[in-house]
Structure 1
Amino acid sequence: MSNHIHLVVQQKDGKLSEWVRDFKKFTSKKLLNLILENPQESRREWLQMIFEYHAKFNKRSGVPIAIGIQFWTHDNHAIELYRPEMIESRMKYIHENPVRAGIVEKPEDFLYSSARNYSGMKGLIEVDYW
């Protein structure tokens, strides 16, 4: 999806909120650098304006806020998945998301989805199966 991400994550130490914080910090630095330092990115100025706009309304804006930019929102929609049926249901929802959006016909056709891994195809990231 182009404007959000779904993750099913287990944090072995039970510190999921710290993991989410670190994930957002790491990915925002990397993605902002890719966007703002790439002269070929045609939307660079527009994206910087959007990031700066949203940073104005957030008192907790973090790195790289020195330049007044926010990449991720600060809210999460965490759902505790404590039964295998719940995990399966959430995974189905996540995998069907690009189909519902009209991006692909089948979940495994979406390049950025773990549906590829679950269908026996090569995915972009390694998946730890539960």
Structure 2
Amino acid sequence: MSSGYQIKNQEGLYYMTFQVINWIDIFTRPVYRDIIIDNLKHCQETKGLQVFAYVVMSNHVHVIASSTEGKLGDTVRDFKKYTSGIIIETIQTINESIGEWMLNQFKSAAKKHSRNQNYQFRTHENHAIELRTPDFIREKIEYTHNNPVRAKNVENPEEYLYSSARNYANMDNTLEDVLIDLPWKTYC
């Protein structure tokens, strides 16, 4: 693992990216996006995860988070392991149109790393970057929220259903965030 992207300060605020191997667009399907959201909720309720911003894109997830229990690295590890397992299990049990192809991709990736057994769903790196200043926090929240706009999925960040931009715009959302009081350019 690259030492530049490790969660060293377990009590810090981090911007992280969880990328599906080979950039497979699995999160275009609600069933898989909902697994991510449900597990983030679980980590909030049981592991002290504080989510300040997030977005679930087609093949990766951005999260800005910290831990009230000072165990962010453990929580991230558990989140990644559990969601990967549930997603693989779901692919195997539902009538997924490209399920066999995805499973073959995940098997092939697992063979390249000794710490994998059967499947590798996402890259091992979290690309964790500690956020220490208000300007850097603002930059990463805006980057996270504008991902769907850059991908041309929506015109405005708050229109994207799987993003905390909705929370910051005082709209209903599937996941409650801890809001950071920073000025916003595009929100209502």
Instruction: Provide TM-score, normalisation by structure 1.
Output: 0.88
User: Does 2:93 match 1:30?
Assistant: no
Match in the other structure for 2:69: 13
Deviations 1:26-70 (A, max 9, x none): 11122122222102x111111111111111101111xxx3xx111
User: Does 2:116 match 1:75?
Assistant: no
| SS at structure 1 position matched to 2:137 | helix
Match in the other structure for 1:84: 134
Match in the other structure for 1:44: 99
Match in the other structure for 1:129: 179
- Any unmatched runs of 5+ in structure 1? none
Of 58, 73, 91, the residue aligned with 2:113 is: 58
Instruction: Give the aligned residue type for 2:101.
Output: W
Q: Higher strand share goes to which structure?
A: 2
Instruction: Provide TM-score, normalisation by structure 2.
Output: 0.62
Deviates more, 1:10-19 or 1:29-38: 10-19
Deviations 1:101-129 (A, max 9, x none): 11111111111111111111111111122
- Any unmatched runs of 5+ in structure 2? 1-56, 181-188
Match in the other structure for 2:165: 115
Instruction: Give the aligned residue type for 1:50.
Output: Q
In structure 1, distance between residues paired with 2:145 and 2:83: 22
Give the alignment's Cα RMSD to 1 decimal: 1.3
1:6 offset after TM fit, Å? 0.3
In structure 1, distance between residues paired with 2:71 and 2:175: 23
In structure 2, distance between residues paired with 1:92 and 1:2: 18
